[in-house]
Amino acid sequence: IPFHIVEGAVADVRVPQNVTRSLLPFLQQANIPYTILISDLQQAIENQTAGRSHRSRRSLPGYNYEVYHSLEEIEDWMHYLNRTYSDLVQMFSVGKSYEGRPLYVLKIGKRSRPYKKAVWIDCGIHAREWIGPAFCQWFVKEALQTYQTDPDMKKMLTQLYFYIMPVFNVDGYHFSWTNDRFWRKTRSKNMRFHCHGVDANRNWKVKWCDEGASLHPCDDTYCGPFPESEPEVKAVAHFLRKHRKQIKAYLSFHAYAQMLLYPYSYKYATIPNFNCVESAAYNAVNALQSAYGVRYRYGPASSTLYVSSGSSMDWAYKNGIPYAFAFELRDTGHFGFLLPEMLIKPTCTETMLAVKNITLHLLKKCH
């Protein structure tokens, strides 16, 4: 059971089918209320991943943004955009993953002047949260398709650059497609414990390995042997440090909980520019709700979700990026990490409204 589950809290548990028959009478006798969310989890997983390698890949101009894509497909798509939209898109790598994969980022924006402020967006720090990379791709699609027709998008791409990293944890994401749909961490090896991976959102140099992180290499929230031990974290941290004067907002996309979080994660305390950040969050969740009526909770991560140390959002804020947010996208637990593909479009549509709102708020120079 995860460390942050306490008495009275709701916990999602995966139970082997052969155990279910004996577990349900026990829960009834103990008066523990339960709900069966997905009766056949294996089938639900297979529905998302089966046949993907055999599905006829549509040509890249007809790329389908309403299905989940493998790492190979996402990388092909990035290369295609880099070739096709050279006036607005520039693709580069910030480094290599533990298993040697390139860590690709798309820089999007009109090259209108040499120096422009920028917004960093990353998705897929946690491998199993597939809706994150789906949103990053959706954002790029919207930016490129509506740039000419939407005055807000034109303003955003003219006045700002967007650095977008569709898959932060490339090794883990690939592994979640090939081996374990619920894999969360990176894939670095720990020789002593024969466990793989570090939680890439507990590996940053900000109150590293304190509350809400684990020292045990086999745990899902393992903080790593030292801060920035993971090449993925080290590479992104290096890039953000190098561009910290330019980057004014850091947005990281996770799942699931339907929340918009801001610092701090590692302690209960109010950030110095609280009024600015709070009003940006309030307006963003209202904009999001206007699409389908979906309500997001918002607030400091520590009190709104739980205390966690070594997070990318806290690190970005501590390193001088004044607007740092983490989105926890749909849903609140029914499908959890297995959010069906039919919900990609509404989730991304509403999230897009929130991101545009935050970006335009940023341009109004609230300090």
Name the active-site residue from 230, 328, 341, 350.
328
CB < 8 Å & 24+ apart, contacts of 216-219: 217/190, 217/192, 217/193, 218/193
Quick one: pLDDT at residue 46?
A: 75
DSSP 11-72: ------HHHHHHHHHHHHHTT-----S-S-HHHHHHHHHTTTTTS-PPPGGG--TTS---HH
pLDDT beyond 60 at 317: yes
State the Rg of the chain over Cα.
20
Strand partners, 106: 91, 164
- Say how far apart CA 316 and CA 252 lie, in whole Å: 10
The pLDDT assigned to 54 comes to 44
Residue 288 clears pLDDT 70, i.e. is over it: yes
Residue 65 has pLDDT above 50, yes or no: yes
What pLDDT score does 12 carry?
67
Report the mean per-residue pLDDT for the chain: 92
Per-residue pLDDT of 137-172, as tens digits, reads 999 999 999 999 999 999 999 999 999 999 999 999
Q: How far apart are CA 365 and CA 26, in angstroms?
A: 57
For the ranges 67-76, 106-115, 176-185, the lowest mean pLDDT is seen at: 106-115
Residues 6+ apart with CB under 8 A from 67: 341, 344
More confident site: 230 or 194: 230
How far is Cα 321 from Cα 236, in angstroms, rounded to an integer? 14
Average pLDDT over residues 191-198: 91
Query: What pLDDT, on the 0 to 100 scale, is given for residue 153?
Result: 98
Can you give the pLDDT at residue 233? 98
Q: What is the mean pLDDT of residues 326-344?
A: 96
Whether 56 has a pLDDT exceeding 50, the answer reads: no
328 is catalytic: yes
The model's confidence at residue 58, banded by pLDDT at 50, 70 and 90, is low
What local confidence, expressed as pLDDT, does residue 1 receive?
Answer: 41
Residue 26 — very low, low, confident or very high, per pLDDT cuts 50/70/90?
Answer: confident
Whole-model pTM: value is: 0.93
The pLDDT value recorded for residue 163 is: 98
Find the mean pLDDT for residues 220-225: 97
Report whether pLDDT(4) > 80.
Answer: no
User: In whole angstroms, how far apart are CA 281 and each of 107, 173, 260, 328?
Assistant: 25, 29, 7, 13
Average of per-residue pLDDT across 285-293: 98
Q: What is the DSSP string of 258-285?
A: SEEEES-SSSS---TTHHHHHHHHHHHH
- pLDDT at position 2 is 47
The per-residue pLDDT for 35 is: 81
Confidence check: pLDDT of 5 > 90? no
**Helix/strand/coil percentages in the chain, nearest 5:** 40, 15, 45
Tell me the mean pLDDT in the region 202-228: 97
User: What's the distance, CA 312 to chain centroid?
Assistant: 11
Residue 85: other Cβ atoms inside 10 A: 16
Q: Which residue has the higher pLDDT, 49 or 61?
A: 61
Average pLDDT over residues 56-73: 84
- Of 224 and 14, which is predicted with more confidence? 224
Least-confidence region, from 26-30, 68-72, 133-137: 26-30
Average pLDDT of 258-268?
97
Is the pLDDT confidence value at 346 over 90?
yes
**Helix (H) / strand (E) containing 297:** strand 297-300
Q: How much is the average pLDDT of 277-303?
A: 97
Q: Which two tokens stand for residue 322?
A: 């004044």
Residue 205 CA, distance from chain mean position: 19
The mean pLDDT value for 177-183 works out to 96
pLDDT > 90: what percent of the chain? 79
